[in-house]
């Protein structure tokens, strides 16, 4: 019985040792497993961090390339090309919106300009050709007076057009949800565009009015002297020097008006370039 008891105790002791041994082995295995998991997780995190950092580097590089590309833009049409490479860029969308509405306004302005003057005086005026026929001179005189009257009263139509286009810019820009400071800068650019364009339109209309008026004076002289001049080799030869002097004085006044209109065309080109740079600056500030 004693032996059996000892044997039982020995067996019991061996069982306890065996349980403790397996328990230690399981504990060590769990530790190694956890360590391995942590190691793998650390590797994954490191790789992800590296890739994110590398991606950021490329994004920064892409932004610098985009900015360089924007700075090289000299034509509003090039904004659309830039947008094709960055279709989700809301700042570029703002610039493209501005360029689109400006081009649309320019087309509408040209149509309005053509509508307010008779076709006979919408292009170059050929006094020599008209001087051969009194009826042609009378028609030209009438059209010049109509054109002069129309351009002096056309400004409200230009202002209404610009106001409508400004509202269109603001409403479309809101749908792009730009940051408030960007949106404010955009609207400031729109207001400046509207003011500058209206000022140029006013100066151009005034110059055109003077252009038609000076040509009208030439036609008046020709009508008054219609039976006292002849056209030879493309030149008008007056019978009296006083008539020639009056005609030359009237014709001489045309030259400055033509130059003024040419200068205003150049001013318009320069203005559109400066306005384009302003739109692109808004984009550049968004990066």
Cβ neighbours of 227 (radius 10 Å): 7
Q: Which residue has the higher pLDDT, 78 or 244?
A: 244
pLDDT for position 5? 43
Mean pLDDT of 248-260: 96
Q: Which residue has the higher pLDDT, 285 or 59?
A: 285
DSSP structural state of residue 196: H
pLDDT digits (tens, 9 = 90+) for 141-177: 999 999 999 998 999 999 999 999 999 999 999 998 8
pTM here is 0.71
Name every residue whose Cβ is closer than 8 Å to that of residue 275 and which is 6 or more positions away in sequence.
Answer: 102, 189, 192, 193, 196
Inform me whether the pLDDT recorded for 62 exceeds 50.
no
> Model confidence over 105-118: pLDDT tens digits?
989 988 888 888 88
Q: Cα(219)–Cα(45) distance, rounded to whole angstroms?
A: 87
| Dist. CA 8–CA 1, nearest whole Å | 10
Question: Residue 279's pLDDT band (boundaries 50, 70, 90)?
Answer: confident
C-alpha closest to that of 257 among 162, 156, 160, 147: 147
pLDDT reading at 70 higher than 80? no
pLDDT value of residue 30:
53
Task: Name the band, by pLDDT with cuts 50, 70 and 90, for residue 124.
Answer: confident
């Amino acid at each position: 019985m004693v032996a059996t008891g000892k044997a039982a105790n020995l067996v019991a002791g061996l069982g306890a040792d065996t349980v403790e041994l397996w328990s230690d082995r399981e504990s060590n295995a769990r530790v190694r497993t956890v360590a391995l998991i942590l190691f793998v997780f650390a590797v994954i995190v490191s790789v992800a961090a590296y890739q994110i950092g590398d991606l950021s580097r490329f994004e920064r590089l892409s932004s610098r390339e985009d900015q360089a590309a924007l700075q090289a833009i000299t034509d509003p049409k090039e904004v659309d090309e830039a947008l094709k490479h960055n279709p989700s860029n809301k700042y570029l969308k703002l610039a493209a919106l501005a360029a689109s509405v400006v081009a649309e306004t320019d087309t509408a302005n040209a149509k309005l300009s053509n509508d307010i003057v008779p076709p006979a005086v919408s292009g170059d005026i050929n006094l020599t050709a008209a001087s051969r026929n009194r009826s042609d001179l009378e028609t030209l005189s009438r059209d010049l007076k109509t054109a002069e009257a129309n351009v002096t009263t056309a400004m409200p139509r230009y202002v209404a057009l610009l106001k409508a286009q400004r509202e269109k810019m603001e409403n479309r820009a809101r749908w792009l949800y730009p940051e408030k400071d960007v949106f404010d800068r955009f609207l400031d650019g729109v207001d400046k565009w509207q003011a500058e364009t209206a000022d140029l339109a006013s100066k151009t209309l005034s110059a055109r009015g003077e252009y038609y008026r000076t040509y009208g004076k030439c036609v008046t002289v020709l009508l008054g002297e219609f039976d006292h001049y002849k056209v030879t080799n493309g030149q008008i030869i007056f019978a009296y020097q006083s008539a020639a002097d009056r005609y030359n004085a009237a014709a001489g006044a045309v030259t400055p008006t033509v130059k003024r209109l040419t200068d205003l065309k150049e001013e318009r080109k320069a203005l559109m370039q400066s306005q384009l740079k302003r739109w692109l600056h808004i984009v550049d500030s968004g990066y």
